[in-house]
Structure 1
Amino acid sequence: MDILTAEFFQRALIGGALIAITGPLMGLFLVLRRLAMIGDTLAHVSIAGVALGFVINVYPIAVGLVFAILASFAIEVLRRTYRTYAELSIAIIMSGGIALASLLFTMGKSFKYNVNSYLFGSIYTLDQTDVAVIAGVTVIVLAMVLIHKKELFLLTFDEEAAAVSGLPVRYFNIMLSILTALVISVSIKIVGALLVSSLLTIPAACSLVLSRSFKQSIILVVIIGEVAVLAGLCMAGVWNLAPGGTIVLLLICILIVSILMTKIRRA
């Protein structure tokens, strides 16, 4: 139990608590807009940026963040090009991200163990800079969601009606893509690029099963994210488990319980 008082573990709890707000929140918007797989796409592109950061000796998360933002712009351009097949844009960018990451891996074999921490998560290695970056992203995301909550609600449930009403749909689509890129970039060191989409989608799936309104969904998605991340970190710390995997498995357990509760309630 001494690990709970360790400085590195407290940094992990702070970083986890912050990302447990923004990750599920952005994931809810993505799921409602049927863009759940964008999390995987931007995560893979971010890993390519992380790898480049190691190659050129620049803060990896910053380079990953730039890559993810560029990828979000590219996805939006392709979505407008392939309106009938919007999911094709996600597949194209994901393929490019994986290809670029694999190329950069072979260029810098000496840092492969460092990159593995971004693939599978390494929340215990968060330093003060990482926590500060995560806190900054959290403030930005929450501020934009609160300022534009009405516009985002309309855009999420009826994009065509939003466009007809004069809402700058393209601006808000790009804004959501950039916010998602920010969240994913700072999340990969916590749960890993291979699991980051779980943090976005599973809490959203739980809240949509349990909630009866959009406002209730937002509240529940954040609560579920916080419970899973903090409880998962404590369990992983006490029993020496993989933090990212523990958090995701706990989320799946919460989802199963949520579905069962809903069925019992309806019965």
Structure 2
Amino acid sequence: MSMFELEFMQRALIAGLLTGLSAPAIGTYLVQRRLSLMGDGIGHIAITGVALGLLTGSAPVLTAVLVSIAGATAIELVRARGKATGDVALALMFYGGIAGGVLLIGLAGQGAATLNTYLFGSLTTVSQSDLYVVVGLAVAVLVVAIGLGPQLFAVCQDEEFARTTGLRVQLLNLVIAVMAAVTVTVAMRTVGLLLVSALMVVPVATAQQVTRSFRSTFVTACIIGVLACLAGIVTSYNANVAPGATIVVLALAGFVVAATVGTLLRRRSGRMRPLADEEPEVGVPAPEPHAVSPGHPHAHSQACGHQKVDHGDHVDYVHDGHLHAAHGDHWDEH
């Protein structure tokens, strides 16, 4: 019998497909905010949620979702109000989550083998009910990540500017935290709670080596995540090893290849920085030679309503599909 005819493998592949899409989707925003380890911290909090489910006889996936969302929200509020820095807030998640999880697992009378299936992933433990929950949560994450893409990018790129444009920065930051928490629980059956952060970060870092814009990084990272998950699940079945570790190793191998290719491309074109840094804004084309903008209607400012893009020693404004930059008594477009 082919492995694709086995019901548990079919469930695992569907869960892997959704995990590969949702984890890099939210990971792109976390990397942009320089909170790459947030997924790891939430993963530790989710351990407490899993243990709580085992203790109470509830579905561990659902309790992990609730506890992860509560923990991520609390830490984001602490960080935003200045009562603790980002790294201290993540440390609280690391230590409190793992300690609470181990304590509750002991009270539930469960052994290390049960906990390991959630820590490192397990193909055979993806039940039909788990799959329904994973599908619902993954779709929700993708809808929010794509539907609120411009707003979330603005907050991740420059919170102060986003605030001046009228965006509800605090709420959008909480949305990112909640999406990260949900993504962790989506991935815990295939990748495992201890390795889910790698699937959020590594595909994004890989995509940045060969892409020029945030949007292309987003799409490429999702493609890489799906390929790593599906290939890792198939490999783990044939080699009888943990799926989470296999997926992460394949993702890291992809990064090595992409970094090598990206370096060669930048050397050929005379660039020595990642291609993704060249175009920081969604939908902004690659820079072209400067040309005087004919009949420019007004002078840009902080309050003009056009998107601002920091560009080295000056500020550009997105206008009619290209960038405008002050140049003496006129505006250049490029």
**TM class, shorter-chain normalised?**
over 0.9
Q: SS in structure 1 opposite 2:85?
A: coil
Query: What is the correspondence of 1:100-115 to structure 2 with a 5 Å cutoff?
Result: 100-115=100-115
Instruction: Provide the C-alpha distance between the structure 1 equivalents of 2:94 and 2:201, rounded to a whole number of angstroms.
Output: 17
Return the alpha-carbon distance in structure 2 between the equivalents of residues 240 and 9 of structure 1: 13
The amino acid across from 2:265 in the alignment is: R
CA contact (8 A) 1:20 1:225 kept: yes
Hey, which of these two has a bigger chunk of helix by percent?
Answer: 1
Instruction: Letter of the 1:59 partner, please give it.
Output: A
**2:66 maps to what in 1?**
66
Structure 2: distance between partners of 1:92 and 1:84: 10
* Aligned counterparts of 1:192 and 1:30: Cα–Cα separation in 2: 19
C-alpha contact (below 8 Å) 1:68/1:182 kept by paired residues: yes
Shift of 1:111: 4.2
Tell me, yes or no, if the aligned pair for 1:74 and 1:93 is still in contact at 8 Å: no
Task: Give yes or no for the alignment of 1:44 onto 2:61.
Answer: no
User: 1:248 corresponds to which residue?
Assistant: 248
Structure-2 residue corresponding to 1:222: 222
Which letter maps to 2:69?
Answer: I
Deviation at 1:87, TM superposition (A): 2.2
Question: In the TM superposition, what are the counterparts of 1:41-190 in structure 2 within 5 Å?
Answer: 41-82=41-82, 85-190=85-190
Matching of residue 258 in structure 1 with residue 261 in structure 2: no
- Please name the residue that 2:299 is paired with: none
TM-score by length of 2: 0.77
Q: What SS does the corresponding residue of 2:35 show, helix, strand or coil?
A: coil
Q: Which residue of 1 aligns with 2:17?
A: 17
Whole-Å separation in 2 of the counterparts to 1:112 and 1:189: 16
Name the larger-Rg structure.
2
Structure 1 residue aligned with 2:205: 205
C-alpha displacement at 1:93, in angstroms? Answer: 2.2
After superposition, the C-alpha distances for 1:219-257 in whole angstroms (9 at most, x for unaligned) are: 100110011111111122223222111111000100000
Give the 3-state SS of the residue equivalent to 1:266 in structure 2. helix
User: Does the 8 Å contact 2:120/2:243 carry over to 1?
Assistant: no
Retained in 2: the 8 A contact 1:23–1:200? yes
Unaligned stretches of 5+ residues in structure 1: none
Inter-partner Cα distance in structure 2 for 1:84 and 1:58: 33
Task: State the AA in 1 paired with 2:107.
Answer: M
Give the stretch that moved more between structures: 5-14 or 236-245. Answer: 236-245
Indicate conservation of the 8 Å contact 2:138/2:186, yes or no: no
Give me the whole-angstrom Cα distance separating, in 1, the residues matched to 2:113 and 2:84.
41
Gaps of at least 5 residues in structure 2 are 268-334
Give deviations 1:194-226, integer Å, cap 9, x for gaps: 111111110011011111001110110011001
CA contact (8 A) 2:55 2:105 kept: no
Q: Is the 8 A contact 1:28 1:218 kept in 2?
A: yes
Q: Structure 1 residues 101-110 or 165-174, which shifts more?
A: 101-110
Deviations 1:12-34 (A, max 9, x none): 10110011100111111101101
Q: Which runs of 4+ in 1 moved over 4 A?
A: none
Task: Work out whether residues 123 and 191 of structure 1, in 8 Å CA contact, stay in contact via their aligned partners in 2.
Answer: no
Deviations 1:169-189, CA, capped at 9 Å, x for gaps: 011111111111111012112
> 1 or 2, which has the higher strand percentage?
2
Identify which of structures 1 and 2 has the higher relative contact order when contacts are C-alpha pairs closer than 8 Å and 6+ apart.
Answer: 1
Range moving further from structure 2, 21-30 or 239-248: 239-248
Q: Work out the CA distance in 1 between the residues paired with 2:209 and 2:251.
A: 14
